[in-house]
Structure 1
Amino acid sequence: MCRTLEGVATVDHHVDVSSTVVVPANSSDDLNLIPPLNFAMVDNGIFRSGFPDSANFSFLQTLNLSSIIYLCPEPYPEGNTEFLKSNGIKLFQFGIESHKEPFVNIPEDAIREALRIVLDARNHPVLIHCNRGKHRTGCLVGCLRKLQRWCLSSVFDEYQRFAAAKARVSDQS
């Protein structure tokens, strides 16, 4: 006897499942849900990632996003802008330049304004992203974590998990 559980065929306990093939009940399009680089849930209704491209659009649609916070100065690509328009997603852009140490200047006013947007539940679900979802996104999420009263070691651990070998002491400070 076969039954469906969340789109996957499962077999009752009477049958030897070692030889059972599990087949998705939905179309092959459902198998093309590809999250953007460094995608993760930050909190209820708040997500982070690297720059999404067209391969990620189907996945992003499943999030029912209201807003995107883009932390880079470069113009948003036309294909991405069309995706936002067709899905009713607002774009908030903060042109924070990418800096490598020792020349670091993360503008506090831009981070404060981006935090206001993140904290406003009317903008949820919201995706925060920069190019790779590491440094600028990590700084904004780190500031959010401080507002959530996380201890610094936990904030730094989360930053390190996404930045990996490219972690910057200046971003953490």
Structure 2
Amino acid sequence: MKFLQEHNIKFLQFVPEDKISAALAALLDKRNHPILIHCNKGKHRTGCLVGCLRKLQNWSHTSIFDEYRRFSHPKSRSMDQQFIELYDPNQVWPLVDRRYLPNWPTLADPFD
């Protein structure tokens, strides 16, 4: 990273949607609980995953982005927020076994 900064090279890293969907499917399986969500620094990839989880929990974008910025500050990235906003949570449901969904009151259950 230091080399990139010294040479004014922009580093772009994208979170693949299929990886987020697979991780969300694991989060939505109560057999995996308790579960710890973390990445290298616990901010950007973790923030994207949790932001997408919040979409599944029917949070507003405003609330999702407030939480994201609170925990990613001072290194919040608009690209992460755009990823969260554009992520389609419907791609998770085919990966989920409804028998093991956690009993979270705000979880949108498309199987109903």
Residue 104 of structure 1: CA displacement?
3.4
Map 1:1-173; keep pairs closer than 5 Å.
103-173=12-82
Taking CA–CA contacts closer than 8 Å with sequence separation of 6 or more, which of the two structures ends up with the larger relative contact order?
2
Over aligned residues, Cα RMSD in angstroms? 1.2
CA radius of gyration, larger in: 1
Does structure 2 conserve the Cα–Cα contact (< 8 Å) formed by 1:104 and 1:170?
no
Match for residue 10 of structure 1?
none
Distance change in 2, residues 1:104/1:132 (3 Å): closer
Instruction: Give the whole-Å Cα distance in 1 for the aligned partners of 2:47 and 2:24.
Output: 12
Which structure's residues are more often strand, by fraction? Answer: 1
Identity of aligned residues (%): 62
Return the letter of the residue paired with 1:167: S
Aligned length: 73
Instruction: Give the whole-Å Cα distance in 2 for the aligned partners of 1:154 and 1:102.
Output: 28
Residue 146 of structure 1: CA displacement?
0.3
Unpaired segments ≥5 residues, structure 2:
1-9, 83-112
- Output the TM-score relative to the length of structure 1: 0.41
Which structure's residues are more often helix, by fraction? Answer: 2
Does structure 2 conserve the Cα–Cα contact (< 8 Å) formed by 1:118 and 1:126?
yes
Residue 105 of structure 1: CA displacement?
1.7
Residue 102 of structure 1: CA displacement?
6.3
Instruction: Give the whole-Å Cα distance in 2 for the aligned partners of 1:102 and 1:148.
Output: 32
Residue 164 of structure 1: CA displacement?
0.6
Instruction: Give the whole-Å Cα distance in 2 for the aligned partners of 1:145 and 1:102.
Output: 27
Residue 126 of structure 1: CA displacement?
0.3
Residue 112 of structure 1: CA displacement?
0.2
- Output the TM-score relative to the length of structure 2: 0.62
> What is the CA deviation profile of residues 32-59 of structure 1, one whole-angstrom value per residue up to 9, with x for unaligned ones?
xxxxxxxxxxxxxxxxxxxxxxxxxxxx
Residue 165 of structure 1: CA displacement?
1.3
Return the letter of the residue paired with 1:137: T
Unpaired segments ≥5 residues, structure 1:
1-100
